[in-house]
Structure 1
């Protein structure tokens, strides 16, 4: 009971926080890309304006435009790195968390089924304690299934 609750809370906590982090990083990446686009427009406008001015102003505006263009190259690299190295892997990890939630749900369903079967065995034992053969064969089957589910739970916990 306690361990199951802790695992469910861990998965819920991871889903909530990863979702929020992905949302914020996506927003940050989009806004950085918009800033890059606006600066590209500014660079183009500076080049256009410089062509209509005198030599000194023209050189100053072109230098400013070139410097601003270099900054935008760095901003472009930042956007690409954010998308490939941060947002992408976080989205993939979100899928892992969803799979773990589904696995945990399946395990809980199996566990509840096993508990129900054990209650059934207890009822059989109380009704007819002399029928040991059917009780023992039923318990052997349940023990095999429980052992497989226990291994699965241990494997599942190691990934959380």
Structure 2
């Protein structure tokens, strides 16, 4: 290749390649933004689900407390309701743990993956910049000292070596980014399939329990114990001193739901 062809080809090739590098860089930057946003949102979603589980646990404790103040049939119905709600929270706990391991963790891993790719791209770009620098140096020597064959020859060797390294780096960059893009799309599909499976399974289990709960509540007949309820009311009225309301059944703080009564189960 003649000196003129080499420098002219080099200028055109580096312009074309800089466009391609920017396109590859955009792929990585877009992935960094969107995968990061998805990770933060789904982590927040999982955290909110955990807060909902905690609120439901408090509700279970209150239902047990409330049931102890009622007649036998109402007491049994409320305790059954509390047991069913506790069971749903066991399923919700399993939902939370699966979201953390099957959805949030794989998304979070992309932070380190993208960081590694960006470090490699920085190294590859250094090779591309070195090639451009050597080509510019060769052209400057040719313009300043066209008769200095020895210096020009050495500059040509350096430029060819830099071009060879740059071409290798460019090829490696293209293959790495395209592999990354393909793997990312595969992982996104897998992650959201897991997300949907986890949510479907939780809601299916919850619907099964709530259907039974609804049937049990419908079967509960508070009216059949009207007389018993009035008797209980009268007894409490007699035990309450005049001018003072009996607030013993409205504790100032929720009763802690005994952990040894928890039936935390992990669904498969």
Query: Same fold by TM (over 0.5)?
Result: yes
CA RMSD, Structure 1 to Structure 2 (Å): 1.9
Alignment map for 1:53-68 (pairs within 5 Å) = 53-68=70-85
Question: Within 1, Cα distance between the matches of 2:120 and 2:166?
Answer: 11
Question: Within 1, Cα distance between the matches of 2:164 and 2:143?
Answer: 25
Higher relative contact order (CA 8 A, sep 6+): 2
Consecutive unaligned residues of structure 2, counting only runs of 5 or more, are 1-17, 178-268
Change (3 A) 1:154 1:51: farther
Question: Within 2, Cα distance between the matches of 1:83 and 1:29?
Answer: 7
Q: State how many pairs are aligned.
A: 160
Q: Match of 1:122?
A: 139
- Structure with bigger helix share is 1
Deviation at 1:45, TM superposition (A): 1.5
Q: Match of 1:92?
A: 109
* 1:19 partnered with 2:36: yes
Larger CA Rg, structure 1 vs 2: 2
Change (3 A) 1:24 1:79: same
Question: Within 1, Cα distance between the matches of 2:80 and 2:134?
Answer: 80
- Deviation digits for residues 66-96 of structure 1 (CA, Å, limit 9, x no counterpart): 1111111111111111111111111111221
The TM-score with structure 1 as length reference comes to 0.87
